[in-house]
Chain A
Amino acid sequence: MKKLTIGLSGLNNIDSPGPGIPVIRGIKDSKILNARIVGLAYENLEPGAYMHDLVDKTYKVPYPSDGVEPLLDRLRYIQEREHLDVLIPNFDSELFTFMKSEKVLQDMGIKTFLPTLKQFEERHKSNLPEYGKKYGVKVPYSEPITSVQDFVQHRDKFEFPVVVKGKFYDAHIAYDLDQVAMYFNKIAAKWGLPIVIQEFVKGTEVNVIALGDGKGNTIGAVPMRKTYITDKGKAWGGITLEDPAMMELTDKIISQTQWRGGMELELIRTSKDELYMIEINPRLPAWVYLAVAAGQNLPEALVRLALGEDVKPFQGYQVGKMFIRYSFDMITDLHEFEQLATKGEL
């Protein structure tokens, strides 16, 4: 295969890691792909920018919140130099911008493989109850609110504790109205409105990583349970499971929605063995390398789908495969930091 150039974001490989580095590891492990990796960084201290064994070149890019045009201008500049074949955005907060720009990117010669805007919108946390009804999936009762007063109006529909969730990130369990107000303000200040108040479903959190081909087929899916969770609620360890019910639910969602691209289903399994869907993340999660290690190289499959290749669904994966994250002090030189900080390239 000809050498590809693949652009990726999500290089913040810190305690709340982005999926960029594990996605790159999957691509580098591929026996089919031969890729040069171009990193897109939002911050000077995203570790991936300095990981030269994985990332060949890094460009700073403006935040999506700065507007679509500045980002596209920067991508035009990068494209002139790098000739990206495929681009994999890995942050929830940038997905909308990249989906909207799919056609423009295509005209530049950059292929993506993202959910459609309809798929992206309807699985939003604030639309989850309708989603559950439409596709016959159990979801906890929830209401989007734009003020604490809103919650007071819906107060009788909830029993404490409730989960207070941000639009993109953050979730806290609140045991009374004061805590709802506290978390509302905290999350709203960081991620904006609306805030979603969700019924608290008691059970074990389990997750599925999956990839849909956009025609209703599941190309791959691996269920996992977090075995170690940080105080930010991120998985610091996990193990693959054998769970036909989770696989069936994943297939059902992908076939009904014709999901295109990577996804992560966040589920709660109750003591009665019922599965509640609490969230759909519209991208590969940061634990994607566990799926690669278990036998499903989903980043490789994603790239091949973006290139328009015919990708056969994976058959099975290894159960009981584990990941354990660790932190590592990477040493770099000031001049590298200076390069990225002042010239926006490294």
Chain B
Amino acid sequence: MLKIRKNIAISDSGFVFDPLSGESYSLNPIGLEILQLIKNGQSFEAVSKHILEKYEVDAETFERYYYDFLATLKLFHLTEPD
């Protein structure tokens, strides 16, 4: 399971700071919510259930965006290496 690097700082406003590279990123509220869930060790199934219940989105669309989001996190080295 993909894990968010431990030393990544995530603020309540969705501001993400990577202390290794010095890069910072801004997340929208849903991005922040998903990132927090992943950081807390939630599986794809649990995140998906949470989002589908809370927002108007179908499972297929969510899955597509979810993996797209994970790929972005990986691209920016915000996740633990495989």
Measured CB to CB, the residues of A under 8 A from B are 204, 206, 224-225, 227, 239-243, 319-320
Closest beta carbon of chain A to B75's beta carbon, Å: 11
CA distance A320 to B22 in the complex (A): 7
Question: Is B61 part of the binding interface, using a Cβ–Cβ cutoff of 8 Å?
Answer: no
Contact B7 A241 (CB under 8 A): no
State the majority secondary structure of interface residues on A.
Answer: strand
Chain B residues at the A interface, C-beta cutoff of 8 Å? 7, 9, 17, 19-22
Residue in B7, B19, B21, B22 with the greatest tally of chain A CB atoms within 10 Å: B22
Of the A-B pairs whose beta carbons lie under 8 Å apart in the complex, a sample of 21, sorted by A's number, is A204-B21, A206-B22, A224-B22, A225-B21, A225-B22, A227-B22, A239-B22, A240-B22, A241-B19, A241-B20, A241-B21, A241-B22, A242-B7, A242-B19, A242-B20, A243-B19, A243-B20, A319-B19, A320-B9, A320-B17, A320-B19
Complex: how many Å from CA A204 to CA B22? 11
Main secondary structure of the interface of B (DSSP, over half): loop
Question: Which B residues are CB-close (under 8 A) to A242?
Answer: 7, 19-20
For residue A241, which residues in chain B have a CB less than 8 angstroms away from its CB? 19-22
Shortest Cβ gap from A318 to chain B (Å): 10
Q: Which residue of A lies closest to B20 (CB)?
A: A243
Chain B residues positioned under 8 Å from A243 (CB to CB): 19-20
In the bound assembly, the distance between CA atoms of A103 and B17 in angstroms comes to 48
How many angstroms from the CA of A242 to the CA of B19 in the assembled complex? 5
Rounded to whole angstroms, the CA-CA distance of A206 and B17 in the bound complex is 16
Q: Which residue of B lies closest to A206 (CB)?
A: B22
Query: Taking CB as reference atom, which chain A residue is nearest B81?
Result: A273
Bound state CA distance, A239 and B9, in angstroms?
A: 14
Which A residue sits closest to B22, measured CB to CB? A225
Docked CA distance A320–B20 (Å): 10
How many whole Å from B60's CB to the nearest CB in chain A? 34
- Closest CB in chain B relative to A322 CB, distance in Å: 9
Closest chain B CB from A54 CB (angstroms) = 29
Complex CA gap A241/B22 in Å reads 6
Chain B residues with CB below 8 A from A224, complex form:
22
A279 → chain B closest CB, angstroms: 19
- Which of chain B's residues have a CB closer than 8 A to the CB of A319? 19
Q: A320: which B residues are within 8 A, CB to CB?
A: 9, 17, 19
Which residue, of B7, B17, B19, has the highest number of chain A Cβ atoms within 10 A?
A: B19
Q: Which residues of A contact B19 (CB under 8 A)?
A: 241-243, 319-320
